[in-house]
Amino acid sequence: MTEPLNGATGPAEARERFRAGLVRPTAGIADGYAQANLMIVPQDLAFDVLLFAQRNPKALPLLGVLEAGRVSGPALAGDVRTDAPQYVVYRDGVEVERPTDVAHVWRDDLVTFLIGCSFTFEAALVAEGIRMAHQDAGVNVPMYRTSRRCEPAGALRGPLVVSMRPIPADRVADAVRITSRYPAVHGAPVHVGDPAALGITDLSAPDFGDAVEVPEGCLPVFWACGVTPQAAIMESRPPLAISHAPGHMLITDLPDRMFQIP
């Protein structure tokens, strides 16, 4: 019988299971290792994506870039084509497929961006007693398109996407302090407490992921999210782009502690 995946599962073992076809969100797997948002584009769009990341570092903190045709790198002993649980293939900005690997669409001119993920700081929040509502509910973190625009770069433009976590009012300052120490994985919140100011009209209807309740005494706290480049792909409509499916991240070999500053 196959063991269930959990926090004790190592990165290589988790990737092997996903390579074999397992599909599930990756929150709570391979504790202590950074998970990455994926954005894979043809070489002629790669400069724009890299510049978009440089200009919007809170939403697109880069963990690594694999040059054209490369499928692994120092951050990742595995294979980016097969090792995330699920992918999204976009053509002209429209999702056309949600496969469990992308070997069939792979080309040697594809450049891969590994983008930091807030799952890294969630462990630090939980370790200091701040519970994650989506983890407790066993669902994906809720994510929202905002009315805030990213700084455009070349052909790429789009809204900032944020993830939301309900935080008890008396722990908001702690949540800010703790996540500030992880600038390479989105860092401090971009907003606290007022969804309308971000153009979010209904917290119960996230654009990606699953809704969670904001209990009495908690504030909704918003962090820049690595799904932002996917929203930019949808708006900018390049011929081809590949991402992970939201919440279904690529587990890297990079220890989370690498991304913590004092």
Residues that bind its own copies (CB under 8 A): 43, 46-47, 50-51, 53-55, 62, 65, 67, 111, 153-154
Q: Which two tokens stand for residue 70?
A: 């490369």
Whichever of 24 and 70 has its CB closer to its own copies, that residue is: 70
Q: Which two tokens stand for residue 203?
A: 């917290």
Please state the φ and ψ torsions of residue 55, each to the nearest 5 degrees: -85, -15
Torsion of CA 36, 237, 51, 33, to 10 degrees: 0
Whichever of 153 and 185 has its CB closer to its own copies, that residue is: 153
Q: How many CA atoms lie within 13 A of 238 on its CB side?
A: 24
Whichever of 46 and 241 has its CB closer to its own copies, that residue is: 46
Give the shortest CB-47-to-its own copies separation in angstroms.
Answer: 4
CA 186 to chain centroid, in Å, comes to: 9
Give the C-alpha distances (Å, rounded to integers) separating 90 from 11, 38, 203.
27, 13, 26
Pick from 238, 249, 250: nearest CA to 42: 238
Give the shortest CB-55-to-its own copies separation in angstroms.
Answer: 8
Whichever of 52 and 222 has its CB closer to its own copies, that residue is: 52
Give the shortest CB-46-to-its own copies separation in angstroms.
Answer: 5
Secondary structure of 80-93 as H, E, C letters: CCCCCCCEEEEECC
Whichever of 6 and 54 has its CB closer to its own copies, that residue is: 54
Give the shortest CB-50-to-its own copies separation in angstroms.
Answer: 5
